[in-house]
């Protein structure tokens, strides 16, 4: 058993990038298994901040092979941009591999994403507008174009032609837009991207993964988004179009579930959410604004202000079960340093009854009210601490409460954005 999965336990942006970078040092391989450049994973090394959208957060260790797995949807121009900025920063990227089975995002996916959002004024999902949903639709509808298809220009042309015809019809006739895609131009553009990327492309990415497993080497699976954004287990339809949960790793990288050794849930010490959809413990104004400013809660990908709220134990219990969490990495504990008291949601109340199992039907969820417990803050700067024993008693009590509600044990506590700001248990 050699696989560790890192999974977001809430609505994304829990600090998965930081935790992946931290653990990648001892790994042989890091794999991104789902999502696309809707993700924004931040890694801070000394005074340098890197924002990764597609490239696994293990990339800063040249001896760690970093794989963009088959489950990812790929914006080729975005990937090339990321490669360039990392190379400019001095990283060779000789350790990057891209699965030929990953699906490619085209202009029409982004246009469809935007058009769908425009039409749903009331129930807008608030997507990142990266074309993620429409690209996954094509994948599951078996009309998608995979990276490997770009190797064969005749196959690519045929698939592109069909897709352009279908999407143009939809955009122009249903969404009443006026698109006019030039197939020659798009073909040339994407073959150009492929030409620049082909050195990274691997034919059988799951074979690479399984080779590492069979040698008993160590692999880290880096989830994007979070459990509550999972298309099956999140707050549907206010979710992303993939399975960020731990089970998604087997599909998006291609290995058997029995190989999973540890599942680390990355958990923010409070909760944030970007985009629309239910958020039971959201704080509007006041302390919500405090959390946003102190935590720098602005989207890594879109720059949008994140909605902020208190820690939600019902969400965490759900995340713990759905993912089979074996450990928790609590992040951003330092953001709570100056709070006099801190609330945690222990359960919901609905029509006079206590609800402990997260209702994934959002109409039932909307009837739920959080039941809070209030804990005393520690009012002390913890950003320089590296030993659990040094933590103030109230911070320890807060962590104990989070672990109790999450039904999992804490193994890492992050007290700042920088790589070294970590307490290991
Ligand atoms: P991800 O999408 O889960 O990788 O998370 P993001 O990178 O989108 O958002 C997390 C933000 O919090 C980034 O700006 C990180 O640099 C920052 N961060 C991560 N851990 C900590 C921490 O323990 N304390 C503070 N203050 N910031 C952190
Ligand atoms: P990381 O990996 C937070 C949200 C969007 C929107 C919904 C659907 O950085 O945690 P999409 O573009 O995926 O169709 O949008 O999902 N979303 C994220 N929120 N962090 C992310 O990624 C997200 N990726 C998508 O805001 O509500
Ligand atoms: Mg993020």
Do 174 and 311 fall into the same domain? no
Pick from 6, 8, 18 the residue to mutate for probing ligand 1's pocket: most ligand atoms within 8 Å of its CB.
18
Choosing from 21, 28, 41, 75, which is the catalytic residue? 41
Q: Could you read off the pLDDT of 299-336 as tens digits, one per residue? A: 988 899 999 999 999 999 999 999 999 999 999 999 99
The answer to whether the pTM exceeds 0.85 is: yes
CATH of the domain at 180: 1.10.300.10
**pLDDT at residue 122, rounded to an integer:** 66
The response to whether residue 320 sits with its C-beta less than 6 Å from ligand 2 reads: no
Tokens describing residue 91: 């990283």
Do 231 and 351 fall into the same domain? yes
Do 75 and 212 fall into the same domain? yes
Instruction: Give CA angle at 108 (103, 114), nearest 5°.
Output: 110
Do 267 and 357 fall into the same domain? yes
**pLDDT at residue 302, rounded to an integer:** 86
What residue ranges of the chain have pLDDT lower than 70?
1, 122
Do 176 and 246 fall into the same domain? no
CATH of the domain at 323: 3.90.170.10
The response to whether residue 266 sits with its C-beta less than 6 Å from ligand 2 reads: no
- From 141, 166, 200, give the residue that closes a domain: 200
Do 287 and 370 fall into the same domain? yes
If DSSP codes are grouped into helix, strand and coil, which group holds residue 17?
Answer: helix
Pick from 135, 228, 275 the residue to mutate for probing ligand 2's pocket: most ligand atoms within 8 Å of its CB.
275
Do 176 and 208 fall into the same domain? no
Nearest Cα residue to atom 21 of ligand 2: 225
C-alpha 298 to ligand 3 mean position (Å)? 9
Q: Could you read off the pLDDT of 20-35 as tens digits, one per residue? A: 999 999 999 999 999 9
Do 216 and 355 fall into the same domain? yes
Do 266 and 330 fall into the same domain? yes
Choosing from 97, 103, 109, 139, which is the catalytic residue? 139
Q: Could you read off the pLDDT of 85-136 as tens digits, one per residue? A: 999 999 999 999 999 999 999 999 999 999 999 987 767 899 999 999 999 9
Nearest to 5 by CA among 168, 243, 315: 243
Q: Alpha helices of 106-225 — where are they, by DSSP H?
A: 107-119, 132-140, 153-169, 183-197, 205-214
| Residues 235/127, Cβ–Cβ less than 8 Å | no
Do 337 and 293 fall into the same domain? yes
- From 170, 200, 230, give the residue that closes a domain: 200
Do 72 and 143 fall into the same domain? no
Is 51 annotated as catalytic?
no
Q: Domain range for residue 257? A: 3-95+203-424
Number of domains in the chain: 2
Which residue matches tokens 């890192």? 6
**pLDDT at residue 125, rounded to an integer:** 93
Do 358 and 239 fall into the same domain? yes
Is 107 annotated as catalytic?
no
- From 200, 234, 260, give the residue that closes a domain: 200
With both helix axes pointing from N to C terminus, report the angle between 246-253 and 313-323 in degrees, rounded to the nearest 10.
40
Q: Where are the beta strands (DSSP E) in 55-149?
A: 65-68, 73-74, 96-99, 103-104
**pLDDT at residue 9, rounded to an integer:** 98
């Amino acid at each position: 058993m050699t696989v560790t999965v890192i999974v977001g336990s809430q609505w994304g942006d829990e600090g998965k990038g930081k935790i992946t970078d931290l653990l990648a040092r001892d790994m042989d391989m890091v794999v991104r298994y789902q999502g696309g450049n809707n993700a924004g994973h931040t890694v801070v090394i000394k005074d340098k901040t890197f924002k990764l959208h597609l490239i696994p957060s293990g990339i800063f260790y040249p001896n760690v092979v970093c794989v963009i797995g088959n489950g990812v949807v790929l914006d080729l121009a975005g990937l090339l941009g990321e490669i360039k900025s990392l190379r400019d920063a001095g990283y060779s990227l000789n350790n990057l591999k891209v699965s030929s089975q990953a699906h490619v995002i085209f202009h029409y996916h982004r246009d469809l994403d935007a058009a769908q959002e425009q039409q749903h004024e009331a129930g807008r999902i608030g997507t990142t507008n990266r074309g993620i949903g429409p690209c996954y639709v094509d994948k599951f509808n078996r009309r998608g174009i995979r990276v490997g298809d770009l190797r064969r220009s005749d196959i690519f042309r045929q698939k592109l032609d069909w897709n352009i015809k279908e999407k143009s019809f939809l955009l122009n006739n249903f969404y009443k837009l006026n698109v006019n895609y030039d197939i020659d131009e798009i073909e040339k553009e994407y073959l150009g991207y492929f030409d620049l990327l082909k050195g990274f492309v691997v034919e059988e990415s799951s074979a690479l993964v399984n080779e590492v497993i069979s040698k008993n080497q160590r692999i880290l699976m880096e989830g994007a988004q979070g459990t509550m954004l999972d298309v099956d287990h999140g707050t549907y339809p206010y979710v992303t179009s993939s399975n960020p949960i731990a089970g998604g790793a087997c599909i998006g990288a291609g290995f058997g579930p029995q190989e999973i050794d540890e599942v680390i849930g990355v958990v923010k010490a409070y909760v944030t959410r970007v985009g629309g959809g239910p958020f039971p413990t959201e704080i509007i104004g006041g302390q919500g604004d405090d959390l946003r400013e102190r935590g720098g809660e602005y989207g890594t990908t879109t720059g949008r202000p994140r909605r902020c709220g208190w820690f939600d134990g019902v969400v965490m219990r759900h995340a713990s079960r759905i993912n089979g969490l074996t450990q928790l990495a609590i992040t951003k504990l330092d953001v709570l340093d100056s709070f006099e008291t801190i609330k945690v949601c222990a359960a919901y109340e609905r029509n006079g009854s206590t609800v402990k199992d997260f209702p994934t039907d959002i109409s039932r969820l909307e009837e739920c009210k959080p039941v809070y417990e209030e804990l005393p803050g520690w009012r002390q700067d913890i950003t320089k601490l590296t030993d659990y024993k040094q933590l103030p008693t109230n911070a320890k009590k807060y962590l104990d409460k989070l672990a109790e509600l999450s039904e999992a044990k804490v193994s890492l506590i992050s007290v700042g954005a920088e790589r070294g700001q970590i307490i290991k248990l």
